[in-house]
Amino acid sequence: MATTQAVAATEQTATARSRRRAELLQGLGFAAPAAILLSIFLIAPFLLAIYSSFTDQRLVPNPNLPTAWVGLRNYTRMFEDESFRSALIFNGIFVLVVVPLQTAFALGLAVLVNQNVRFRNAFRTIYFAPVAVVTVVVAAMRENFFNPTAGLINGVLESVSFGYLTPERFGLLNWLIDRNGARLAIIIMSIWQGVGFQMVIYLAGLQAIPNNLYEAARIDGATVWQQFRHVTIPQLRNTTIFVVLSTTILAFALFDQVRVLTQGGPEDATQTMMLRLISFGFERGQVGLGSALGVFYFVLVLAIAFLQRKLIREERAVDA
């Protein structure tokens, strides 16, 4: 009897192992196409970029000037480039201004469209619509909105101020011509175009908050503001961390708006790291220098991702 049970147990173990092996092979089979594509189009190019950043690789090879190993020279040249330093400054300004404003606007819009009012789905669509606006449309809006003499924004400002707010009195209103005006135009356009995406994320977070928390707060006599401050904000902490850090990463990757509106001008006032990467790698043909900038950007994004993971881990530890 014992022998029969032992044999049966052994057969069951072998069957379980065979099933697990079959499931593992099946899982690897499903994952293989994605893994192969990621390796070809993501991992391999990035490893090649790391190698190229230590060489003087050019976009068009020259048989008389073979590629040579230059060590850290590309990284030092990158930081010596005045336009790159201007790009770091504008990227920093852009992040410091856009991230808090866009996060605050997204939270406010999410609270508004989460109310039980008529046509709320239409409002959600309207607020989210700019996210789907393509760069070509933004290019058309350049003249319609930011033209210093015939633009819609300056026309409205001049009308509501009875002719006081004009480009002649305020250089800032010389959009895309004045340094600060160009920066402000990029910031306004970016917030308008991206706030809808963060709004949707906040809306999902709001709808996940249990209603009994608000009911308990109302029973305790909490006002609407107190409910928002002591219930809504704490419950949205992880959502806010995700929104802030994802917006920060996207802000450092600023490219489309600047490429269409200002091309980095005037006087490098709106240069960005992505513009410099394109300039180094493709316009000048200095692939090694462009690769160094790409690696620098990757390290920057990786540091932000680690910060996000640390903050979320600390939040889970506090909740536990």
Residue extents of the structural domains in the chain = 81-319
* 149-200: pLDDT as tens digits: 777 888 888 888 877 878 877 777 788 888 888 888 889 888 888 888 899 9
* 251-290: pLDDT as tens digits: 888 888 888 888 888 888 899 999 998 888 888 888 899 9
Residue 318 has pLDDT above 80, yes or no: no
- Check residue 20 and give its pLDDT: 84
- Check residue 6 and give its pLDDT: 58
Cβ atoms of 274 and 254 closer than 8 Å: yes
Residue 40 has pLDDT above 60, yes or no: yes
- Check residue 295 and give its pLDDT: 92
Give me the helix-helix angle, 120-128 and 82-113, nearest 10°. Answer: 180
Per-residue H/E/C for the chain: CHHHHHHHHHHHHHHHHHHHHHHHHHHHHHHHHHHHHHHHHHHHHHHHHHHHCCECCCCCCECCECCCECCCHHHHHHHHCHHHHHHHHHHHHHHHHHHHHHHHHHHHHHHHHCCCCCCHHHHHHHHHHHHHCCHHHHHHHHHHHHCCCCCHHHHHHHHHCCCCCCCCCCHHHCCCCCHHHHHHHHHHHHHHHHHHHHHHHHHHHHHCCCHHHHHHHHHCCCCHHHHHHHHHHHHCHHHHHHHHHHHHHHHHCCCHHHHHHCCCCCCCCCCCHHHHHHHHHHHCCCHHHHHHHHHHHHHHHHHHHHHHHHHHHHHHHHHC
- Check residue 14 and give its pLDDT: 67
CATH homologous superfamily of 81-319 equals MetI-like (1.10.3720.10)
- Check residue 76 and give its pLDDT: 92
- Check residue 36 and give its pLDDT: 92
Distance between CA atoms of 253 and 18, rounded to whole angstroms? 48
Cβ atoms of 195 and 109 closer than 8 Å: yes
Distance between CA atoms of 298 and 275, rounded to whole angstroms? 15
pTM for the predicted model, two decimal places? 0.82
